[in-house]
């Protein structure tokens, strides 16, 4: 009887062992076909983060590209300016002569005015009247001496050409524009990155702004007449309408 009781007690133990062996372990999660559950909130958070990273990378790249483009545009513009100045040197006017007040620079001597000194007959024949301040101009002044007045504006007819050419054009204007009441000044400047000195040519006298429509028309007529007189100049003859793109510059 004791043996039968022991057999009964051991029977549940064998059944329990089989139940424990049949229960799946953690390794069953890695078998094919097993499902892994994630909260939906985690998935949406991951999607939002990925979209944010893509947008941030796009804007960062765009800003970097714009900065690189601006830097490249500045380099190109500077190179164009240097090229224009160096190209202008090839067109320098050769020949004997002296610029008033600049004995060290050679160029063609100024021509005599094609029209006589201003008289009432010249004015009535169609020439524009002299601008205010024309009779006070010093025509023996060095072309590079600063004589502009603060608060006045000046017509710049040529800008950014080699200094020697600018001095030549200014001397021609002085000779041809006397009866129009015009003189010229050369404003020297040095372009960054270039060893070539350049100059801008401005007409004298200056004037106050704003101008009336009649004053603007009178200046346009003076500059057109000056352009006609200098159309055959060796330096200007390549332009069919010299000085047509003049601008007003305040001082």
Map out the domains of the chain as residue ranges: 98-129+137-250
Asked if residue 2 has a cis previous peptide bond (ω within 30° of 0), the answer is no
Contact (CB, 8 A) for 97 and 167: no
Burial of 196 (0-12, 13-18, 19+ CB in 10 A): middle
Quick one: tokens of 177? Answer: 């524009």
Asked if residue 205 has a cis previous peptide bond (ω within 30° of 0), the answer is yes
Contact (CB, 8 A) for 163 and 169: no
65 pLDDT band (50/70/90 cuts)?
confident
pLDDT of 80: 67
Residue-wise pLDDT tens digits, 107-157: 444 554 444 444 444 454 578 889 999 999 999 999 999 999 999 999 999
Of the candidate ranges 42-51, 130-139, 147-156, 160-169, the one whose mean pLDDT is the lowest? 42-51
Query: Residue with structure tokens 């601006």?
Result: 70
Quick one: tokens of 224? Answer: 């057109």
Most confidently modeled range among 41-55, 120-134, 161-175 = 161-175
Strands of the 197-204 sheet, one edge to the other: 183-190, 197-204, 153-162, 247-250
Contact (CB, 8 A) for 235 and 201: no
């Amino acid at each position: 009887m004791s043996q039968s009781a022991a057999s009964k007690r051991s029977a549940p133990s064998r059944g329990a062992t089989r139940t424990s062996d049949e229960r799946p372990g953690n390794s069953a999660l890695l078998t094919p076909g097993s499902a892994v559950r994630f909260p939906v909130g985690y998935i949406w958070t991951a999607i939002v983060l990925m979209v944010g990273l893509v947008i941030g990378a796009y804007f960062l790249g765009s800003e970097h590209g714009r900065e690189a483009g601006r830097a490249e545009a500045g380099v190109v513009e500077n190179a164009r300016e240097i090229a224009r100045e160096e190209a202008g040197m090839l067109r320098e006017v050769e020949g004997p002569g002296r610029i008033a007040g600049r004995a060290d620079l050679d160029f063609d001597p100024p021509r005599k005015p094609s029209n006589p000194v201003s008289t009432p007959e010249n004015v009535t024949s169609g020439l524009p009247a002299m601008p205010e301040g024309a009779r006070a101009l010093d025509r023996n002044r060095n072309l590079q001496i600063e004589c502009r007045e603060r608060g006045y504006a000046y017509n710049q007819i040529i800008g950014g050409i080699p200094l020697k050419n600018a001095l030549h054009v200014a001397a021609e204007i002085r000779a041809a524009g006397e009866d129009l009441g015009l003189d010229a000044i050369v404003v020297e400047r040095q372009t960054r990155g270039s060893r070539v000195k350049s100059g801008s040519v401005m007409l004298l006298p200056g004037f106050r702004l704003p101008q009336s429509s009649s004053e603007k028309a009178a200046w346009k007529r003076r500059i057109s007449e000056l352009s006609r007189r200098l159309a055959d100049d060796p330096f200007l003859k390549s332009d069919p309408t010299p000085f047509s793109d003049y601008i007003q510059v305040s001082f």
